[in-house]
Amino acid sequence: MKLNELRDNPGAAPKRMRVGRGPGSGKGKTAGRGIKGQKSRSGVAIKGYEGGQMPLYQRLPKRGFNKPNAKKFAVINLGLIQKFVEAGKLDASAPITEDVLVASGLVRRKLDGVRVLAKGEITSKLDITVTGASKAAVDAVAKAGGSLTVTTPAAAE
């Protein structure tokens, strides 16, 4: 089979209906838009307009707040770290830092730091140093005989 012989299955992509192409097409003349009125014209944006009434999205109360300088952490789970150790992509005897995690491919980029969460089982004795970790993750690593150190970045608030 060659690239030029590739074809979609019959009926997989139905032909597009071409409207306004004469009375014999079944969608000619008004092209299925009916007769006259705003919706039969082109350039209509009805969805947000309520005819002079205060629109619904403006009547509803606004809630919440998005912090403009919020920290964005790369999140990893303990189960994934364990999987990478077993696969030989992480060295359990050497200390595991954020740079080591990026080099192994477990984290794509550090962002504002790496945060470890406690999902999954950890059995190896690991020495991990990251920017953030959940309490459960710290306990789980300690229970496995390792240590999880949380550092604060130099330019913290």
The per-residue pLDDT for 86 is 87
Does a structural domain hold residue 123?
Answer: yes
Does a structural domain hold residue 51?
Answer: no
Q: Is residue 3's pLDDT more than 90?
A: yes
Give the mean model confidence (pLDDT) for residues 2-11: 94
Does a structural domain hold residue 100?
Answer: yes
Bridge partners, 114 (sequence order):
74
Q: Is residue 142's pLDDT more than 60?
A: yes
> HSE (CB half, 13 Å, CA atoms) of 113?
16
pLDDT tens sequence across 91-125:
888 888 888 888 888 888 888 888 989 888 888 88
Does a structural domain hold residue 92?
Answer: yes
CATH code of the domain covering residue 110? 3.100.10.10
Query: Given pLDDT bands bounded at 50, 70 and 90, which one contains residue 45?
Result: low
Q: Structurally, how many domains does the chain consist of?
A: 1
Does a structural domain hold residue 94?
Answer: yes
Q: How far apart are CA 69 and CA 71, in angstroms?
A: 6
Q: Is residue 156's pLDDT more than 60?
A: no
Does a structural domain hold residue 30?
Answer: no
Query: Given pLDDT bands bounded at 50, 70 and 90, which one contains residue 27?
Result: very high
Does a structural domain hold residue 136?
Answer: yes
Does a structural domain hold residue 40?
Answer: no
Identify the residue whose tokens are 């130099």. 154
Residues in contact with 28: Cβ distance below 8 Å, sequence separation at least 6, in sequence order = 19, 20, 21, 22
Q: Is residue 9's pLDDT more than 90?
A: yes
For residues 128 and 88, the answer to whether their CB atoms sit within 8 Å is no
For residues 81 and 126, the answer to whether their CB atoms sit within 8 Å is yes
Which domain range does residue 99 map to?
74-150
Q: Is residue 49's pLDDT more than 80?
A: no
